[in-house]
Amino acid sequence: MTSEKVVFTSPRYFQPRPSLGWFWLILMAVIIIALAIAPALAVGISSTSTALTLIICIPIALVFLALAFWFPSMRYELDQDQLTLRYGPVITYRIPLIKIRTIRRRNLDMTIWSAVRFPGIALFTVPYADVGNVKMCATAALNNILLIETEEEKYGLTPQTKRHLSPRWKPGWRVERCPRSTS
């Protein structure tokens, strides 16, 4: 069996699957702002506890709005040495191709632990019941995730089509298919 090396003259860019993840981030920001403002309207802004609530909640809501703003910037870049997962200026995961042990498409089992994980989006390190912590940059939180494992980390992504980011990058990688969902 001959092993051929893939040579890219420039990086290849791939988009994630479409989703409404941006909507869920905006909805969270609106809920947080509403929960902060409701006591202010009931008690009055002059209350110290109300002012403190606003001081804490408004920045958190702004973070969710910023994540929604950067949603269109999510992408995957593949060059001859590494795969890079990007989400605005907040996520840049570099995965050296030589360190990849397995690539498998699978459904993940949710835990109750908190993370930036909503329908249509999963970001940062997310704990899963079946595979442990996964560095996510994906437009899905649980289903049909392309899970890439290295010696040190696991990464989750959702390329737009199965042909994108195909396991043909390197001979010898172990590839597993996602079982069909019965629900």
- Three-state SS string over 93-154 comes to EEEEHHHEEEEEEECCCECCCCCEEECCEEEEEEEECCCEEEEEEECCCCCCEEEEEECCCE
Give the model's pLDDT for residue 98: 92
Total count of residues recorded for the chain: 183
Give the model's pLDDT for residue 173: 47
Give the model's pLDDT for residue 11: 83
Domain membership flag for residue 102: yes
The DSSP 8-state label assigned to residue 180 in this structure reads P
Domain membership flag for residue 84: yes
30 and 103 belong to one structural domain: no
88 and 156 belong to one structural domain: yes
Q: What is the pTM of this model?
A: 0.80
- Provide the sign of the torsion angle of the four alpha carbons 75, 77, 83, 87, taken in this order: negative
Burial of 11 (0-12, 13-18, 19+ CB in 10 A): middle
Number of domains in the chain: 2
The DSSP 8-state label assigned to residue 178 in this structure reads P
62 and 135 belong to one structural domain: no
Residues of the chain with pLDDT under 70: 1-9, 43-47, 162-183
Domain membership flag for residue 1: no
35 and 116 belong to one structural domain: no
Domain span at 46: 21-71
50 and 136 belong to one structural domain: no
Give the model's pLDDT for residue 183: 43
